[in-house]
Amino acid sequence: MSRNPLTLLGIETSCDETAAAVVRLRADGSGEILSNIVRAQLDLHAAYGGVVPEIAARAHVDLLDPAIRQAMAEAQIAFSDLDGVAATAGPGLIGGVIVGLTEAKAIALGCKKPFIAVNHLEAHALSPGLTDDVRPPYLLLLVSGGHTQLIVVNDFGSYTRLGTTLDDALGEAFDKAAKLLGLGYPGGPEVERWAARGKPVISLPRPMLGRKELHFSLAGLKTALRQEATSRAPLGEQDIADLCASFQDAVADVVRDRVKRAMDLFGEMCLSVDPASDRAPLTLVAAGGVAANARLRKALSEVATERGFRLVVPPPTLCTDNAAMIAWAGAQRLARGLTDGMGTPARARWPLDPHAPPALGAGVKA
């Protein structure tokens, strides 16, 4: 592994954030964010209540060049100063991924710099190392718009999936809950904002609670929310607030239960490798956009304290999609001498643990 400082440009276009960042991996292994530019597309998708892939891809074409110029200017470096160029190669909306991947390849080729293709999920998984100096092994709760998984980060490039969602990811569930209640987009922050004004007084199910397997299932909770909303129609503001608070509490209970079971299994795995590992606190990392939810953070903090884990949640700017985490993951790969060719394809699907057994019903969320 290289011990020289590495400075990388990162590009992220997997969904509806057009992002560019410059990050430095210092010789001591710590990280420094020189710039982190995110250009959102919320106004373009708000009318549809969700991301429209074709609109997102066209917006990336318009927004990416200015974002890169701004990132390089704020970092106060030239392209010749870069040690490499990294971009999300998947998983994600394929049209958007192609835009960022093509741009990164062009820059790398034109500047004669190494190109690094980054797995978006791996970038989330490694992001706490950029700000909190977290080193593997640790337990990861990945909660994003498209994925909800419990993963053991064994080492760089080595991941064991313990559980995944069998239907909706947490981010999807929040967005759909907001849409059926007539709230704004994106749904997660709207549900959280309304929940702060309500009370969790409406009985909603806690799917998979107490189940031995570590998977998630949120479709039933979403259906129950719709039924409760229909039975109370027309909804007043207090009804909406109470429904949001009740939905958010149900999600927190499900996550708490799933994470507890994962912690027990992770602890056993660590002890089997190192019998002395019970003397130091184990680490739980929560990453992905939904990790910014305050109610979810509170639930995770409680279970971490109960189980003797250290909880690490990256800053909100690194929880949502961003290019700093892409540059950081790219730097980790480059430091190990790993680069990619110009023929590297964009991938709509790219599991972190390709050897994980199939989860019935999970489909692309596996």
Q: Do domains 6-132+317-352 and 138-313 have the same CATH topology?
A: yes
Structure tokens at 340: 């990619």
Predicted local confidence at residue 364, as pLDDT: 53
Query: For the chain, what are the domain ranges?
Result: 6-132+317-352, 138-313
Predicted local confidence at residue 365, as pLDDT: 53
Predicted local confidence at residue 276, as pLDDT: 59
Predicted local confidence at residue 88, as pLDDT: 98
Structure tokens at 18: 């057009």
Give, in words, the CATH class of 6-132+317-352: alpha beta
Predicted local confidence at residue 221, as pLDDT: 95
Burial class (CB in 10 A: 0-12, 13-18, 19+), 234: exposed
Predicted local confidence at residue 251, as pLDDT: 97
Structure tokens at 237: 């503001």
Low pLDDT (below 50) residues in the chain: none
Predicted local confidence at residue 50, as pLDDT: 81
Predicted local confidence at residue 362, as pLDDT: 59
Predicted local confidence at residue 42, as pLDDT: 82
Q: Degrees (nearest 5) of the Cα angle 160, 162, 168?
A: 120
Q: Is the pTM of this model over 0.85?
A: yes
CATH code linked to domain 138-313 = 3.30.420.40
Contact 112, 313 (CB under 8 A): no
Predicted local confidence at residue 277, as pLDDT: 57
Predicted local confidence at residue 361, as pLDDT: 63
Predicted local confidence at residue 146, as pLDDT: 82
